[in-house]
Structure 1
Amino acid sequence: MKFKALLFSSSLLLSSLVLLSNCTENSKAGKAGTKTASGAAATEDTIKIANTSTPVDKAKYDSLNKYLANGDTTGRWPVKNQPYPLNGAILPFNRIVAFYGNLYSKKMGILGELPPKEMLAKLKGEVKSWQKADAKIPVIPALHYIAVVAQGDGGKDGKYRYRMPFKQIDSVLSMAKEINALVFLDVQVSLSNIQSELPLLEKYLLMPNVHFGMDPEFSMKDGSKPGRKIGTYDAEDINFASKYLADLVKKNNLPPKILIVHRFTRKMVTNYKNIKLRPEVQVVIDMDGWGEPDLKLGTYRNHIFPEPVQFTGFKLFYKNDLKKAPHHMLTPQEVLKYKPQPIYIQYQ
């Protein structure tokens, strides 16, 4: 079956960009690398999902990776010659179900759309649904927060991105603590770059329960304004982020970090064979586009399945996946039929 290109992810909608074009650059947030985040004190109370003193069960690791390959016979999955992770690795021993969004906008995802208590209750319900669909792998919740957002205005430095104030990240950390959830901090660099934006979040990434996401859709290497075309990251950019996270893990005796890389076109990630895997970092290529079920499956088959890196993820949209009646949002049971099975699930 021939599939047309998947539509842009809903974070590309102009409503999101217009919302943030009215925000002025926060000078305090812009100095994130030099000021202590108010949330840093939460380090001592970190959610303890993983135990760095417990050695990784290599036999179980291999068994679960084979299970996730879901009967693939092409030889691509599970990924060969990948390093075993350090003690305390979350994947593939757990499946993660995350809610995505930003607290400034109800249109960028479920995380910011609903009041916190209602949102957390809904997330717990999705966790239960995924656990029921696959009892073999424990399911844990996460909040995936867009900490650097592409915007329609260039801002003071002309980079077309807005760095969220620390108080918002602190709020997300507090919400996550209520249900023992992981936190992912996501960046949309626009005309900036991952080398500039990632270090500004270091104080949060030193927390064992905080992980990182990078969105090629808004990495505008050619100088285009975000929202007009789909951006790109090369393996070199992904390797920078991976090494940065790995260094934090090694220097601070942390459990492995998870690195989410969004993708729904071939050009969003270039030179995938050059992506370096490390014991300190677990890489997830997350199918990030929206559309009807056949379209999403086609994108997964065409852009995720044939270019294996380490683990895969899959994004579900409460609204955009339903735009074309009579289509429906895929169920956990339907997604679990994919080869390989996604180990990271994100709802927007």
Structure 2
Amino acid sequence: MRSATRAGGAVSSTALTSTALRSTALTSTALTTALAGGLVAVLAACTPGAGPTSAAVGGGGGAGPGAGASAVASPSASPVAPVPRPSATPTAPAAATAGAVATPRPPAGTAVVAPDDAVAAAVATSAALFATAPVVVLAPVEDLRAQVRAARAAVALGVPLLLTAGAAAGPVVAAEVDRLGARVVLHVGAAPAVPDAPDAPDAPDVRDVVAPADDAALADLLGRALPAVADGVAGDGSPAAVLAVTDAVAAASPAGTAPAPSPAPVPGAGAGPARDAAEALLRRTRPGPPAGTGLVVVDGGTPSPAAAASARAAGLPVAVVAGADVAAADAVVRVAASAGAPLAPDAPVLAVGAFADPGTLAWQVRAASTGVQLPGGGQRVLPGRHLVALYGTPGAPALGLLGEQGLEATLQRAREVAAPYDALTDAPVVPTLEIIATVASAGPGDGDYSSELDPAVLAPWVDAAGAAGAYVLLDLQPGRDDFLTQARAYEDLLRRPWVGLALDPEWRLAPDELPLQQIGSVGVDEVEAVRAWLVDLVRREALPQKLLVLHQFRASMVQGRERLTTTRPEVAVLVHVDGQGNQPAKAGTWAALRRDAPPGLLWGWKNFLDEDTPVLTPEQTWAVQPTPDLVTYQ
């Protein structure tokens, strides 16, 4: 049974209670939410005849998805059985309900809601963030302006905002209204009535109330001021307009709404117990306690602000991220501002849109919440910028340009070497220091033929580079030691967001080998161990992506390179082609090392000032194809 009222006047029964809305053509494939065991479950397809498909969540290599992470698949995922209402206890009459509030809840771990359309996204967000709600706000998906008004009402009441498409509210929406235990559906715009849920024909009566067109009258109906949303943001439904609307809704605050002094009747409304009961419930409905801690991240490309509205209604902060790219510079600013402080490792996160798998997303959002920006902006080293580096060791002129002058002069020289590349690309060009931290030694030293610089000696160089907007690579020449053991010795420096790692297999020796008597080599398993360790470090410390450089000028220097993992976003992997001599020979080395390389590798080029004939100019270096991601001067 359903009843309909319009605040301020009568409403046509055919508009809201047509038996066509209960047609068997609206058979639901499935909707539900499974909320036990820390999972937010699947929203299945509601289109008649839609066939199920599986939704993939990626991973592999290095650290897997974080603990407590869960995925909410698209509506085309395999259907699951509907969940009944939270309680079979009869609901009290609406007029007798005092201080009605929804029951928001935080996301379960980290969850990604990736439905195919705005209607499904709104339902999935409601399912993830609300256990119950006395009222649901409904707006047509085709009317962005109505959604703005509906969002303001939902945030003011602290209840979910759902959407309808076409002339009927489908069974997925009906099932969610029933699951929430809603007694009133507030229609904003030309939203149709919600049919009885197919799986709950005996559910308590739900009243449909049509919102008045005037904002003042709507606020009076709710007994509560509407949150302010910037005028003129609704636009024409274009992606830019949707982004502006979602931004505005994400900033709306129920704390900024004030209740009316008393539940006075709505002016112009006719008499009637059903209408009076529904409107009384609307006036008594208030935001409940915030849904704990956590953050909701919404893809700015989603076609509706409904998810952001439901999140704000649940009392959670919202970050709107363009293109679902959490590592972009603007996204880092937005996430950090919305979070207010770096998120704890177990902070719940709900993402709505085409985001990464939950484990990856948990790391990305935690890292972004720190507000740290890498040199050049954002939290992705490569691709998207180019690094131009000086190579060497502080205080050792014989080992490269970096050691030919003091710290401040080195930073100035790095800027001067990088400057000509600025005119060759629209991407940021970042001055970089590649510091040899462990130097291959002719003598055994402590037995490994490698001299390790004290991290405390390197720290002033590393910190000054970061303060100057430069990136740093710590280069390892391990001798008879292994790369992972040496990398661990510099973990404190590698915790700095702007510090990456470079491995030089030329100086990786077998137990019976000596420096300069052969070209060293390393097996890919040792490289993979370093890469996996870096992935774990990045995740554990909520760091931005790190760069791992692999120096190479012969194929034999990295054995099994085809098995190198290049797909983990925590660590970008780059092969630095170190060939020297005449340019045809260097071009041949470049081509040979690129042959049969695993996909996803990045590439670096080295200009040797004394050995190359001739040394390429910046313009000639930029003509190398593909354009190098890293250019080093030695």
User: Which residue does 1:291 correspond to in 2?
Assistant: 581
SS where residue 135 of structure 1 aligns? coil
Q: How far is the alpha carbon of 1:57 from its aligned partner?
A: 5.3
Alignment of 1:41-80 (within 5 A): none
| Aligned: 1:337 with 2:623 | yes
Q: How far is the alpha carbon of 1:92 from its aligned partner?
A: 1.0
- TM-score between the two structures when normalised by the length of structure 2: 0.40
C-alpha offsets along residues 236-267 of structure 1, whole Å, 9 cap, x if unaligned?
A: 11111110000001111111110010000010
Give the partner amino acid of 1:95.
H
- Structure 2 residue aligned with 1:320, among 611, 614, 618? 611
User: Which residue does 1:191 correspond to in 2?
Assistant: 480
CA gap of 1:116–1:56, structure 2 versus 1, over 3 A, is farther
Q: How far apart, in 2, do the equivalents of 1:260 and 1:337 lie?
A: 22
User: Which residue does 2:425 correspond to in 1?
Assistant: 135
| Number of positions where the alignment pairs a residue of Structure 1 with one of Structure 2 | 267
Alignment of 1:225-236 (within 5 A): 225-236=514-525
User: Which residue does 1:149 correspond to in 2?
Assistant: 439
| Aligned: 1:180 with 2:465 | no
Give the partner amino acid of 1:140.
V
CA gap of 1:224–1:337, structure 2 versus 1, over 3 A, is same
User: Which residue does 1:29 correspond to in 2?
Assistant: none
Q: How far apart, in 1, do the equivalents of 2:411 and 2:449 lie?
A: 31
CA gap of 1:223–1:162, structure 2 versus 1, over 3 A, is same
Give the partner amino acid of 1:115.
G
- Structure 2 residue aligned with 1:240, among 515, 529, 541? 529
Alignment of 1:207-218 (within 5 A): 207-218=496-507
What percent identity do the matched residue pairs reach? 27
CA gap of 1:238–1:142, structure 2 versus 1, over 3 A, is same
Q: How far is the alpha carbon of 1:195 from its aligned partner?
A: 2.6
Q: How far apart, in 1, do the equivalents of 2:461 and 2:487 lie?
A: 18
SS where residue 520 of structure 2 aligns? coil
Q: How far apart, in 2, do the equivalents of 1:222 and 1:58 lie?
A: 49
Aligned partners of 2:455 and 2:493 also within 8 Å: no
Aligned partners of 1:287 and 1:304 also within 8 Å: no
C-alpha offsets along residues 200-227 of structure 1, whole Å, 9 cap, x if unaligned?
A: 1111111111111110000112531111
User: Which residue does 1:108 correspond to in 2?
Assistant: 399
Give the partner amino acid of 2:574.
V
| Aligned: 1:164 with 2:453 | yes
Q: How far is the alpha carbon of 1:100 from its aligned partner?
A: 0.8
Aligned partners of 2:466 and 2:498 also within 8 Å: no
C-alpha offsets along residues 169-188 of structure 1, whole Å, 9 cap, x if unaligned?
A: 12322441452111111110
User: Which residue does 2:495 correspond to in 1?
Assistant: 206
Alignment of 1:34-45 (within 5 A): none
Aligned partners of 1:56 and 1:89 also within 8 Å: no
User: Which residue does 2:550 correspond to in 1?
Assistant: 261
CA gap of 1:56–1:189, structure 2 versus 1, over 3 A, is farther
Give the partner amino acid of 1:253.
A
Q: How far is the alpha carbon of 1:54 from its aligned partner?
A: 9.3
User: Which residue does 1:66 correspond to in 2?
Assistant: none
SS where residue 490 of structure 2 aligns? helix
CA gap of 1:57–1:199, structure 2 versus 1, over 3 A, is farther
Unaligned runs of 5+ in 1: 1-52, 62-82, 322-326
Unaligned runs of 5+ in 2: 1-318, 328-359, 369-378
Q: How far apart, in 1, do the equivalents of 2:529 and 2:322 lie?
A: 25
